[in-house]
Amino acid sequence: MARGFVDLATASEAALILAAQARDQGAFGELVKRRQGWARALLRRMCASHAEADDLAQEAFLRAWERLRDLETPAAFAGWFRRIAVTTFLMAKRKAKGIHETLDDSMPLADDRSGPDAAAGARIDLERALTLLSDGERLCVTLNHAEGLSHAEIVDITGLPLGTVKSHINRGTDKLRRYLSPGAHAA
Amino acid sequence: MTEQSFDAFEADLRRAFAGIEDPADDGFAAAVSRRVARRERGAELGVWARAAAFTVAGAAGATAAFALAQNAGPMLMAQFGMTFVNVQSALAAGDWSTGAASMVMTQALLALGLGAGGVAAYRAVAD
């Protein structure tokens, strides 16, 4: 789709994607603007730090720009980008230390919760609780509970064995339950 | 903990995930756009650099081929001429011997090998 026929502000996401596939940087910029919140939130749940998540989100968008022509239909953008984001995360973690490492299940739960009681408390609690998980657990728990992916879909997107995915989800969910359940840190 | 409370917790967890607000733009999209533009400029420069390198390499190759042809050309031409005459006379005499056949095959394979090597080298450089 030629530039000039796409009003960026009002264009549909599909139109932006088609224009970006024709190497329209403006259309891609608008697409990033609309999708950045979702993409960064996804990576922030996977990463321990927001700064790292935002760096990886930038990297994921750059990869998306380079591979946009591989996207067969604009409707598949969300799933396609999620795969790129997960791959970017996995590559960064493997470069750093290796996500396939044995998980340390004896990791202590933090006990410095400052008694949040407002509505924002739940959000802060969850974000804090997520930092207690290992990289693999956080990744699988996020994809399962936040993105709604099935175990098989997580296997497909991450390349991790099914047993590992199940184990990450179970352990991760259990750690969150222990941390988030009422009275867990009352003392 | 019962199975029901497990399910309830997972439902709560899903709601909690959904409740996490997406971060505001705060210049993120602009930063990505800048990096995309920089990368595109780099890629464009790369194309020009590759074209220039091919031009220089082509000119150098042509110069070398010309120099080689000047020195070895007459000798090569004579050799090809000899080969042609030999093959032709063998054919005319109805004596399609193994020698003549192998001579033709050698030349053909040589030409084919040169062609394939050239294509492979071109693709390797282009990649």
| pLDDT one-digit tens code per residue, A53-101 | 999 999 999 999 999 999 999 999 999 999 999 999 999 988 877 555 5
CB contact under 8 A, A145 and B14: yes
Q: How far apart are CA B104 and CA B22, in angstroms?
A: 73
User: How many CA atoms within 13 Å lie on the side-chain side of A84?
Assistant: 23
Q: How far apart are CA B36 and CA A163, in angstroms?
A: 39
> How large is the average pLDDT for residues A18-40?
93
Mean pLDDT of chain A: 82
The closest CB to that of A29, out of B10, B33, B40, belongs to B33
C-alpha distance across the termini of chain A, in Å: 62
Interface test with A, best of B32, B40, B44 (most A CBs within 10 A): B32
CB contact under 8 A, A40 and B22: yes
For the record, the structure tokens of A73 come out as: 């239909």
CA distance A66 to chain B (A): 9
Whether A145 has a pLDDT exceeding 70, the answer reads yes
Length of chain A: 187
> How large is the average pLDDT for residues A40-62?
92
Which among A129, A45, A60, A41 is positioned nearest to B32, based on CA atoms?
A: A60
Tell me what pLDDT residue A178 has. 87
Using the Cβ of B3 and the Cβ atoms of chain A, whether some distance falls under 8 Å is answered with no
Tell me what pLDDT residue B97 has. 59
Neighbouring residues of A28: CB distance < 8 A, sequence distance ≥ 6: A16, A19, A20, A65, A68, B33, B36
The per-residue pLDDT for range A114-128, each reduced to its tens digit, is 444 444 555 667 888
Tell me what pLDDT residue A122 has. 57
> How large is the average pLDDT for residues B43-65?
89
Tell me what pLDDT residue A118 has. 44
Tell me what pLDDT residue B21 has. 74
CB contact under 8 A, A36 and B28: yes
